[in-house]
Amino acid sequence: MSNQTSVTEFLLLGVTDIQELNPILFVIFFTIYFVNITGNGAILMIVILDPRLHSPMYFFLGNLACLDICFSTVTVPKMLENLLSTSKAISFLGCITQLHFFHFLGSTEALLLPVMAFDRFVAICRPLHYSVIMNRQLCSHMTVTIWIIGFLHALLHSVMTSRLSFCGPNHVHHFFCDVKPLLDLACGNTELNLWLLNTVTGTIALTPFFLTFLSYFYIITYLLFKTRSCSMLHKALSTCASHFMVVCLFYAPVLFIYIRPSSGSSLDQERIIAIMYSVVTPALNPLIYTLRNKEVRSALNRKVRRWL
């Protein structure tokens, strides 16, 4: 950490300035967080324990479930604490640590989604070569690579932010420590930090976004021109529908926050959108997969019947 800063702690102003809403928001967000932990925990458990789900598709799904649990845990517990507490302080080190893990897990999930789309592309468009292409070694290497890239991307922002001078106000207009709200409080020149945020984070967000939709473009094109069976077309598209919904729910708010200029959106808009991708979307992912995926539902039913 830099010794240039005179600020030892920040005050997270939270979701809303209306204090009377805090108990209601606590119940809502606690419920959503509980659904997230329970749903993603169940998916992670059955992917690990059920041998029938030991395939690349469910290996990546297990990684997604793990990321969703950790991603929300970085911000939600502190937010819940602040909703019921008069003290909303977070230490300087705690703030930088939260910023690091938020970007680490968020960028890793952004990179995982196109890998999952590529898996579906190979399964549908190259079914005879699927087991050869998507072998265990390749899946492991891709997963380790995206986790490392996510960590390095977050490390860049956490180190560069920690080196800034914070000598004035310490009120963060957000419910967690993120780069943009902290740059507003910095006393020194933040042009390099803004450039890194727009360029590096923009690349991390946009490149996987286009690669994901490129995979689906090839899948749809292949199915339309190569598959004459409507039932086969419907079955293949329904297999991809769950992942496609997750992609839309994740990328839409992220692109809105990190691609738009800082002056293009209000603080209230940014907080609401941040709630969507950091709180709500991770809780919706297990519901989407369990409701639309017969194999996941069957595996859950088998485990429940065995326990009963």
Distances in Å between the Cα of 4 and the Cα atoms of 161, 183, 186, 201 are 12, 15, 11, 26
Residue 73 falls inside a structural domain: yes
pLDDT at 1: 45
Distances in Å between the Cα of 106 and the Cα atoms of 141, 150, 159, 287 are 19, 8, 17, 20
∠291-292-296 over CA atoms, to 5°?
75
Q: What are phi and psi of 188, to 5 degrees?
A: -90, -165
CB 290 within 8 A of CB 70: no
CB 122 within 8 A of CB 129: yes
Distances in Å between the Cα of 172 and the Cα atoms of 12, 95, 153 are 5, 10, 22
What's 43's domain CATH number?
A: 1.20.1070.10
Please give the tally of structural domains in the chain: 1
Residue 103 falls inside a structural domain: yes
pLDDT at 262: 54
Q: What are phi and psi of 90, to 5 degrees?
A: -135, 135
pLDDT at 308: 61
User: Alpha-carbon distance 155 to 149, whole Å?
Assistant: 10
> For 153-203, what is each residue's pLDDT tens digit?
999 999 999 998 888 788 898 899 998 889 988 888 888 988 888 888 888
Distances in Å between the Cα of 105 and the Cα atoms of 81, 119, 238 are 21, 21, 28
Residue 2 falls inside a structural domain: no
pTM attached to this predicted model: 0.88
User: Alpha-carbon distance 124 to 239, whole Å?
Assistant: 10
Helices (H), the chain: 22-49, 56-84, 92-125, 130-133, 136-162, 179-185, 191-196, 202-226, 230-259, 267-275, 281-292, 294-307
Residue 102 falls inside a structural domain: yes
pLDDT at 160: 93
pLDDT at 125: 86
Residue 3 falls inside a structural domain: no
pLDDT at 4: 52
Residue 192 falls inside a structural domain: yes
CB 88 within 8 A of CB 14: yes
CA dihedral 207, 212, 217, 219 (to 10 degrees): 150
pLDDT at 235: 65
Residue 111 falls inside a structural domain: yes
- Provide block-wise average pLDDT over 10 residues at a time, the chain (308 residues): 66 84 92 93 88 88 93 94 88 94 94 91 89 93 96 95 87 89 88 87 85 86 73 67 76 70 61 85 81 73 71
Residue 238 falls inside a structural domain: yes
> For 169-181, what is each residue's pLDDT tens digit?
888 988 999 988 8
Residues spanned by the domain of 202: 9-307
With helix as H, strand as E and coil as C, how does 50-65 read? CHHHCCHHHHHHHHHH
